[in-house]
Amino acid sequence: MARHVRDNPLFVVLLAGGAALRLVTMLGFRPALWFGGDTDVYVRAAADLEPLASRPVGYSFLLRMLMPGHSFTLVVAVQHLLGLGVAVLVYLLLRRAGVLKSLAALLTTPLLFDAYQVQLEHLIMSDTLFGFLVVAAVAMLLWRPVPTPALAAAACLTLSLAAVTRTVGLPLLGLAVAYLLVRRAGWRGLACGLLAAAVPLVAYATWFHAAHGQFALSRADGVFLWSRTMTFADCSVLKPPPEEAVLCPENVPPEIRAERPAASRWIWNEWSPIQRAPGDLFSVQTNDVGRRFALRAIFGQPLDYAGAVARDTARAFSWVRQPHPGTYTVGFYEFDLADLPLPTEHSAGSVTVAEIARIYAPMPGTDSVPPYSSLIRKYQDYVFLRGPILALLLLAGLAGVLVRRRAVILFPWLVGVALLVAPPMLADFDHRYVLPAVPLLCLAAGLAAVRRSDHDVVVGGPVEGERRVLPV
């Protein structure tokens, strides 16, 4: 593996540039960036080690592991290393598949130099860990033409860990199992994969049951799916029963509906009908009613649902990043030249955000330190992956799938597409949800460029006297 890196000066230079960019970011914004409403939840869960009703807290276990360091700088340093690790994994997979050195290196540039990717790594948020786990799992499955039982188990275990970090990882387990079947990994490989995947999921659900009395990963799926339907649901068509009718979009003021709020805004704003529903926001009752309403809307207005998903997914391909789901949320993805104190509101009960931060490490806020912060802020204005380029990567992978019809291209391409489409299908579009899909689409585009015979794709080349070939 190290040989592939050392033998390509271009990739070494690019990797060093990506590392330098992250170092300048750490010098410019100290100690880390705080995402109001989310970071405090993860940090508190790390301190208390308890499952949350609103989301799985796999990321909090990473924070817990790093907690003895009492440093948010340490957390973002680890996350920046994970970001660099994703680029290295993609590069190694491309080189093992026979992609030209220069092309393999260039396909890592969106991962190394996208300012929003670097900014996401600097946030105390679950996305960087999730993205690394997904790419690592895909790398394990593609490392050999036919995954061994050990690789199948390791990959499915890693995807299961990704699923308890962000639930959007659950559909990826289905894709992994399908890939094992297509690659004919055998009953041992399939059994090892399924058993390994079950361990974190069952363990987390059991932990959740002990805390909340329900065998699940969270109690939020119905609430978020309901919010998805608020952009198109028409209760005059659906005619829901009374217990669901309280969640109709017609129950908000006309001026709010005229604004056409993004799906996720229907959860958190005080005008939302779900805020006035009986029970807590993420109670069993509210989650179940929200799910029933959502399914009624999806099956009652399938074309409207498909249109809403398509419109939101298409936002990923615009040249200019759209302020969706709102300017408040998008503001968290922009480096700011001003010092940013921590939010002053209470996170839960009588505990303030500042008190939660102090549990983990001293952090009154984010200090913007010139000239490093000024350089990064200016850099972010110009250097990031534009939507049309993302579309070209998507189409390049699709062309490889259609022309070459190889599972080794189809699998990472489908994982990338799933990561793009699942959030708009299940909740809402958000620019940070796009970034974990980029490495997979870069990988699929590179694999599509490999020129081999009509029957074989060499993945590993001669290793210990063995020629590793992926038959079509």
Query: What is the model's pLDDT at position 36?
Result: 85
Structural domain count, the chain: 2
Confidence band, pLDDT 50/70/90 cuts, at residue 168: very high
Confidence band, pLDDT 50/70/90 cuts, at residue 343: confident
- Whether residue 470 is predicted with pLDDT greater than 90 in this model: the reply is no
Give the span between the Cα atoms of 470 and 408, in whole angstroms. 8
* In a shared domain, residues 348 and 309: no
Do the domain assignments include residue 459?
no
Measured N-to-C along each axis, helices 186-212 and 170-182 cross at an angle, to the nearest 10 degrees, of 170
Query: What is the model's pLDDT at position 80?
Result: 98
- Whether residue 464 is predicted with pLDDT greater than 50 in this model: the reply is no
Query: What is the model's pLDDT at position 18?
Result: 98
- Mean predicted confidence (pLDDT) in 85-91: 98
Which one, of 117, 200, 111, lies nearest residue 155 by Cα?
Answer: 200
Do the domain assignments include residue 250?
yes
Do the domain assignments include residue 334?
yes
* In a shared domain, residues 86 and 110: yes
Burial 399-415 (b: 16+ CB within 10 A, else e): ebbeebebbbbbbbbbb
Do the domain assignments include residue 168?
no
Tell me what the pLDDT averaged over the chain comes to.
92
Which of 291, 315, 339 delimits the end of a domain?
Answer: 315
Do the domain assignments include residue 44?
yes
Confidence band, pLDDT 50/70/90 cuts, at residue 118: very high
Which one, of 80, 104, 79, lies nearest residue 14 by Cα?
Answer: 104
Residue 344 main-chain phi, psi, to 5 deg: -90, -15
- Mean predicted confidence (pLDDT) in 171-182: 97
* In a shared domain, residues 104 and 7: yes
Query: What is the model's pLDDT at position 461?
Result: 39
* In a shared domain, residues 3 and 116: yes
Query: What is the model's pLDDT at position 347?
Result: 64
Which of 383, 418, 435 delimits the end of a domain?
Answer: 383
- Whether residue 3 is predicted with pLDDT greater than 80 in this model: the reply is no
Cβ count within 10 A of residue 370: 10
* In a shared domain, residues 3 and 113: yes
- Whether residue 50 is predicted with pLDDT greater than 80 in this model: the reply is yes
* In a shared domain, residues 347 and 327: yes
* In a shared domain, residues 103 and 37: yes
Whose structure tokens read 């499955």?
A: 141
* In a shared domain, residues 270 and 359: no
- Mean predicted confidence (pLDDT) in 105-119: 98
Strand partners, 367: 30
Do the domain assignments include residue 13?
yes
Tens of pLDDT, residue by residue over 321-336, are: 999 999 989 999 999 9
* In a shared domain, residues 287 and 331: no
Range of the domain at 85: 1-125+322-383
Do the domain assignments include residue 183?
no
The answer to whether residues 416 and 388 touch, using CB atoms and an 8 Å cutoff, is: no
Measured N-to-C along each axis, helices 284-300 and 221-229 cross at an angle, to the nearest 10 degrees, of 40
Give the span between the Cα atoms of 22 and 39, in whole angstroms. 20
Which of 315, 341, 372 delimits the end of a domain?
Answer: 315
- Whether residue 131 is predicted with pLDDT greater than 90 in this model: the reply is yes
- Whether residue 379 is predicted with pLDDT greater than 80 in this model: the reply is yes
Confidence band, pLDDT 50/70/90 cuts, at residue 452: low
Query: What is the model's pLDDT at position 459?
Result: 38
Higher-pLDDT residue of 319 and 351 is: 319
Which one, of 160, 111, 153, 109, lies nearest residue 133 by Cα?
Answer: 160
Give the span between the Cα atoms of 467 and 137, in whole angstroms. 23
Give the span between the Cα atoms of 44 and 39, in whole angstroms. 9
Give the span between the Cα atoms of 335 and 32, in whole angstroms. 11
The answer to whether residues 359 and 43 touch, using CB atoms and an 8 Å cutoff, is: yes
- Whether residue 466 is predicted with pLDDT greater than 50 in this model: the reply is no
- Whether residue 467 is predicted with pLDDT greater than 60 in this model: the reply is no
Query: What is the model's pLDDT at position 112?
Result: 98
What amino acid is encoded at 31 in this protein? Answer: P
Give the span between the Cα atoms of 150 and 195, in whole angstroms. 12
Query: What is the model's pLDDT at position 98?
Result: 92
Do the domain assignments include residue 424?
no
* In a shared domain, residues 289 and 328: no
Give the span between the Cα atoms of 284 and 218, in whole angstroms. 10
* In a shared domain, residues 294 and 357: no
Confidence band, pLDDT 50/70/90 cuts, at residue 2: low
Name the token pair of 273: 């009908």
| Portion of the chain with pLDDT greater than 90, in percent | 84
* In a shared domain, residues 378 and 290: no
Confidence band, pLDDT 50/70/90 cuts, at residue 7: confident
- Whether residue 41 is predicted with pLDDT greater than 60 in this model: the reply is yes
SS3 call for 139: helix
Confidence band, pLDDT 50/70/90 cuts, at residue 26: very high
Confidence band, pLDDT 50/70/90 cuts, at residue 4: low
SS3 call for 351: strand
